[in-house]
Structure 1
Amino acid sequence: MLTIRQVKLIHILLEHEHEVSSRDLAKLLDITTRTVRNDIKIITPIIDRHGAKLEAVASKGYKLLVADQALLKLFLAEADYYQTNSDAHIIPVEPADRVYYIILKLLSVNHYLKLIDLADELFISESTIKKDLKAVKAQLHPFRLALDKKPNYGVKISGQEEQRRYCLTHYTFSANQTNNELEKQELYNRIKDLFGTDITFQYFPISDEGLSNLVEQLFIMCLRIIEDQLVEQKKHNVLPAKNDFLYQTAQEIASALSRTLTITLPNTEVLYIRDLLLAAKLITYNQHDKDPATVSHYYNQADRQLAITLIEAADNQFGLNLLLDEHLVNGLALHLIPTIHRLMIGMPIYNPLLSDIKLKQPFAFDIGIYMIEKLSALINLSINEDEAAYLALHVAAALEKSKVKQNFKRCIVICPKGLASSYFIYYKLREKFDQELKIVDLITKQELKSYPMKDLNFVISVDYLEEELPIPILVINPIIGASDVDKIKRALSEDSRNVLNYTDPARTFFRKDFKEKEEVLDFLIAKLTEQGLVNRHFKEAIYQREIMSPTCFGNSVAIPHPIERLTDSTFLAICTLRNPIDWDGRRVQFICMLSVKKDDDQKLQEIFSFLVGVVEDLTLVEQLVNVNSYQDFTSLIEAKLTAIH
């Protein structure tokens, strides 16, 4: 019988009227082109007997020719039913799926499992299961669990009961594992139905997402209690004060569970529920509240100061003014309370929006990464990229709010003709461009030498300037005419995100034969070093950013870049590959190394904005990885820019 992936491949071909290349199939299925070819060999004789024929067209790809629509439809219906309803569908094929399967298998038992039995169950060799176990060990580490190996016995997971529960919850729910056992589904629904009826959060503000996560944790807790796997009494456990509202809420939940499920919850389990409440996501107040201070009773001064410390660090690093946003300060202070508790008790969180945030809000995500690096140093605990993505959501909201307030270009006007002439230009520009242009200042040529260019888009002058500036200079007539107005209009509409301004033939490399991520990074860094663009700290910063969170953004694109601003100029270095390589679990073929010069973080947002458009354009990426010259590369990018406008 065909695998789930092979059935999906047939469906993809059936949906396309024209040929589909092996590269496109590989991207759609997230596999290599070699695996596509192997699957095609398996599929071809099977569908040949069921009303269709697979045709390979040279230089174009594969096309499905249907001779008997009814016969093929019946075959696919049977295949889909088998995959959905047969026990065979739970046996995974892909390495990542096998790792999930093995973790859940080991968590479900308390005894050793022999490697040969696991290998037989998964239809793989012992050498493959040993390789998979290395990945299992790495994924257990954030939960403070370990693999216990014993000769002649096999392997089992060792660690405290609380950590097993956190891990079980993650791999049962967050990893999209489904459980079709009716009894367990009924148990989950009964726990879920308690909230809003038997259990109310009178003293505890909790978000919908936090409540959903809490129900999942309680479901796993109840399953473990039914299996007689209880949390142990700890020496440091101290009974909370009677007026502890979290403990009161935990008691309320424990009582409701005991009544409904007829199970006994000792006080250690009540304390465990209190831990879950502390780790739950607090509700975020309405950002339109007239008085943000009304939420301050949910946190103390230390929580607020920590939020301020992180925002100040981000402002200094990225040249922002986020600390002025009181809603961000309050929201972050509220968010950090459960975050730090989760980290302290070893409860890693899974963020379902991680990929979307990395792709669609890369600048905010960079700020989130920078914040968790600072937070990690302050509390001496490691923090994953999922937490960074949650911080990025707070930051993205603040950035969008700031953008709404500042949806215009900023400039200064240089006029040596005197005050009257300066004011004439000022008011004439205000008349023509009031909603698009903010004139920050009126200055003389002498003042220009020491004037900060940060946050300015261009300079308007009535005389030609000899000075070289980091931003465009628009020379206009003191008596502004139609040609001057047109010149300014072009400047306002000009796309400063044109990445071609930051590329160079000497930094563009096509169809290289690298096999590893490190090869690509080292190659590009070496080229930039040869050209005198980076110093010895640049390589360390690039690798540090990859450790914090891999810079693969989907659709075969990676954008490696340092968090810190280490260079005196803004530039891109491009490298395409003949074949995709593994980039921390994702396939990458187009690499765009980015560095933004010091005090130019506005450019980072603009370049990221354009690159996101590139990443989301699968056809463009496919074209870019196949070009062989800088001229062809620039033509494609120019076409993309034209399409945007």
Structure 2
Amino acid sequence: MSKSELRRIKLMKLLMDENNYQPTKYFSEKLGVSARTIHEDVDLLNDILKDVDIVIKKVPRKGLMIEGITISNQNEVFGLVETELDIFNSVEQKQNELFSLLINKGSEYSLLELENVLGVSDSTIKKYCDILQKYLRKYAVQISYKKDYIVVSGNEDKIQNAYRNYLISLYKEYAIQFNRETFENFLQSYFNYQIIDITNLVFKMFSNRFSTYYMDQYYYSLYIHIATLITRCNVNKHISSEYSDKCVWNVNYYMFANELIEYISKKGNIQFNTSDIVFLTESLYALNVNIDITNAQKYDEKYEKVVTNVINEISTFLNVRLIDDIELYESLLNHIELMIYRLKNSIYIKNPLFEEIKNKYLLLYSLMCYAANHISRVYSVNLTGDEVSFLVIYFQISLEKNFGLTFRNVFLVLPRGLITAELIYVKIRKVIPKTDSVVRIFFDEFDSSKVTANDIVITTEETLYFPKQIKISKMLTDEDIDNILRNYYTDYRNDNSILLNDDNNWVNPELIFLRKDFNNKAECLDFFISQYRMNNLIKDKFGESIYNREKLGDTSFSVGVSIPHADPEQVRKTSISIMTLNKKIKWGINDVNIIILFAISDNDQRKSKKYITDLLEFIEIESNRIKLLKCNKSSEVMQLLVSGKQ
């Protein structure tokens, strides 16, 4: 007997024991359910009792009372209720079984098949479908009829959520008290045994990765979710590619979801797509699953040294201190250990946010590619673009947490009612690197106490005084833009380096190629390689290392720039080459007309860091790219690189 059936029988007994009205609250407290559930049960009981002239009355401000019960008929009436509830329960079971059949098959079901399986008529099946449709409507899921066939249709994430929540509600009705035995008995009615076996293995294999709180409170909910996901993917029903990818920013959840999916794939020979993994990631997060990443493994000294090196590399590049961020350190320890395992075993995972991360954080992504060279050398693996982008997320989170929303805030302080305010903002946003945030604020709301020593203030107000500020006119002229750029890079970068100097003149004038005509990426790369070889700057496998890097991840960016690079071990003498094209060509998923090839030797890795950062920041600015494309001579490019830092 189900919990709901038992509750309705208890309610009937309570009503029969009372001679007067009792408030609904009285019954709800006795049975431990809501007043709404009591009213729903009363409606069902009244439907059963209507043919024997017995009614449960519901009177406002009085409550509930049963009428028509006598000493002579109470046993007969009670027997009728038990019988009808059994029948009702049987009908519910058939309805639930129908839903399960439709979900488990994944494709359309013929009415004839369903009649044979359920043992009911086609009209009864349609009645069950109508009842289910009322529930599914809120999920925008449809039970559709196609001639003599029935199929569930809608967005796959909605279908899975609907089925999961349906089963959770059923289990709450089914189980008087939760325990693993009753739960597994319940599951056998809604999933085939192979799915249950695989899901059991998942929870057994990864039990040490979850907190105790999770296991006690959310076990059955997550179990049903994973079993449903496996069931649907097993019949080739996958979450659509348009599914939200917001939870990828919590890398720990996403990586753990990848581990789960990888394990399931091997055990069940089931294929999953990236959106399926994102969907599981979101569920892990939504269900408050507390993943214990520190309990996964103990790390040896080698991993610790690698993580420390990568953090110090990025810190040096950006002139910040990140080594004190314990959360960053421990997260990278966990991530890199698993990443090395994946790469050594040729297990490649996709980051759904790869292109967004690469383009939004061009500077940080490019710097991470260089910092990752140390990992590649130590463990003899090649990091894919997806793996690099995951590392970028950890560092971006750390930078946001420790240094504000971005590397720095640029406060644009303007008077209220200035009609050119939006135009000023748009123009300034274009020339300030995306790594910095441009914050618009009215003059009368500006609080100078919130401005850090690293921030910049740009304003039209003559009365405003701030030690580090740039004055502009209300029309924002070209002179204003030049003034912003000059001051931005001279006064506020707080460094003594410039792009070009006598000691480190790494942009080789002989390797500057302007207004070239190539049809594709391969022609460009082959030309670069031949020029480097002609100048005796490289070793034998230089070209191979560039092509290998291109295979690991797209090196193009949405701003029309590509930044290929070679293995430092294959470079004899550091030389950076710049090329512009008359017409854009396809480079990965982007069209580009500026290519900057980094060939940095092992000996120059450390001292090149600030230089590389400067060059990347230079190319991030749209006005610099426009000027570069207009250059006709190598000398003009060299002069532009110098003036770009003045």
Give TM class, smaller chain: 0.3 to 0.5
Point out the structure with max Rg over C-alpha: 2
TM-score by length of 1: 0.40
TM-score by length of 2: 0.40
